[in-house]
Amino acid sequence: MIVLGIESSCDETGLALYDTERGLLGHALHSQVAMHEEYGGVVPELASRDHIRRALPLLEQVLQQSGVALAEVDAIAYTLGPGLAGALLVGSSIACSLGLALDKPVLGVHHLEGHLLSPLLASEPPAFPFIALLVSGGHTQLMRVDGVGQYTLLGETLDDAAGEAFDKSAKLLGLGYPGGPAISRLAEFGDPAAYKLPRPMLHSKDFNFSFSGLKTAVLTVVKNQTNVCEQDKANIARGFVDAIVDVLTAKCVNAIRHSGLKRLVIAGGVGANAQLRASLNAAAAKRKFRVYYPELQFCTDNGAMIAFAGAMRLQINPQAAKKDYSFNVRPRWPLEELRVI
């Protein structure tokens, strides 16, 4: 079965073809980062318009790359939510129009389920069950995953998401958008002893997070200086990255210990972070569990994870895709609402 995946929930247009027998056949992506950069963040209306411009050329690209004709596609999976309403509507309408024109069934996919399952696209995928840390621009959640559609939320952020904390702190330091990669690179040159920033909820007995205080601590440090020199910026970046990585690592270790499981999966954009990976790998070596990451190109938003999640859903329930082309979107959609009976 060949599934076409369409992702358009935020500032990346991603298309991909996944074959349940042959694996990922091809994927194409356009990032809007350069377009939004001058505004310091995503401008929703611009995002929607750009998805319209990019989607069909990317579809052509992915078909060519895969050597697959559109008629060979068995089903079309698209991101139904959560995300920006206008951006989601573009992907949904394209998916449903294609479905109608080709007489193929369509299936709305949960964006976070895409992220969550993306490590299964790797050459050595984790087996179920596992603990998953989902760290993206909009979400920070720890979950127990027993199978496709079997997700138990263990804890989540009470305020800012990890990616949001990276982006906001980077902005305070005058770094570009998205700030995650920029602040992470700068931190490499910082002195770890210069700023000891707070580690919110590090010792709380639950699996929840809170990052807005850490961002405020960065703000306070920046405000208290009349002239923040380059080395100082790097030191603050280092203080921030060390703090957030410490909290994320400690909560993952607690969840692993509490569950008795030996597999930890990291998904979402912040999963690309080098310092987080180093810290988790060190904890895993010490405590004898294994960490699985998506390939770097599939950490941030992409079409491959949507095609894959759609294919996994269809393997469980072939009726999940329908020839019903009236579409809507779910900009807010809690992952826990997903259940496979």
Q: CB count, 10 Å around CB of 311? A: 26
Question: CA–CA separation, 328 vs 174, rounded Å?
Answer: 38
Binding mask 257-296 for Zn ion (x = CB under 5 A): ----------------------------------------
Within 198-257, the residues that bind ligand KG4 by CB under 6 A are none
Cβ closest to ligand KG4, residue 249 vs residue 300: 300
**Residue 221: enclosing H or E segment and its boundaries?**
helix 212-223
Q: φ, ψ for residue 145 (rounded to 5)? A: -115, 115
Cβ closest to ligand KG4, residue 14 vs residue 105: 14
Q: φ, ψ for residue 299 (rounded to 5)? A: -75, -50
**Piece in contact with Zn ion (CB under 5 A), picked from 134-142, 169-177, 277-285, 328-336:** 134-142
Cβ closest to Zn ion, residue 136 vs residue 157: 136
Site residue total, ligand KG4 (CB under 6 A)? 20
163 touches ligand KG4 (CB under 6 A): yes
Selected from 13, 92, 118, 184, the binder of ligand KG4 by CB under 6 A is: 184
Greatest alpha-carbon pair distance for the chain in Å reads 64
180 touches ligand KG4 (CB under 6 A): yes
Within 256-285, the residues that bind ligand KG4 by CB under 6 A are 268-270, 272-273
136 touches Zn ion (CB under 5 A): yes
Question: CA–CA separation, 194 vs 239, rounded Å?
Answer: 7
Cβ closest to ligand KG4, residue 104 vs residue 110: 110
**Piece in contact with Zn ion (CB under 5 A), picked from 131-139, 166-174, 234-242, 326-334:** 131-139
**Piece in contact with ligand KG4 (CB under 6 A), picked from 179-187, 190-198, 304-312, 330-338:** 179-187
Selection from Zn ion, ligand KG4, none that 178 binds (CB < 5 to 8 A by kind) is ligand KG4
Question: CA–CA separation, 330 vs 321, rounded Å?
Answer: 17
Query: What 3 state SS string does 146-214 have?
Result: EECCEEEEEEEECCCCHHHHHHHHHHHCCCCCCHHHHHHHHHCCCCCCCCCCCCCCCCCCCCCECCHHH
Q: Are 319 and 84 in contact (CB under 8 A)?
A: no
Query: Can you tell me whether residue 74 is helix, strand or coil?
Result: coil
Question: CA–CA separation, 48 vs 43, rounded Å?
Answer: 9
Selection from ligand KG4, Zn ion, none that 184 binds (CB < 5 to 8 A by kind) is ligand KG4
DSSP 119-155: GGGSSSPPPSSEEEEEE-SS-EEEEEEEETTEEEEEE
301 touches Zn ion (CB under 5 A): yes
190 touches ligand KG4 (CB under 6 A): no
160 touches Zn ion (CB under 5 A): no
166 touches ligand KG4 (CB under 6 A): yes
**Residue ranges in contact with Zn ion by CB under 5 A:** 136, 301
**Residue ranges in contact with ligand KG4 by CB under 6 A:** 10, 115, 136-138, 163, 166-167, 178-181, 184, 268-270, 272-273, 300-301
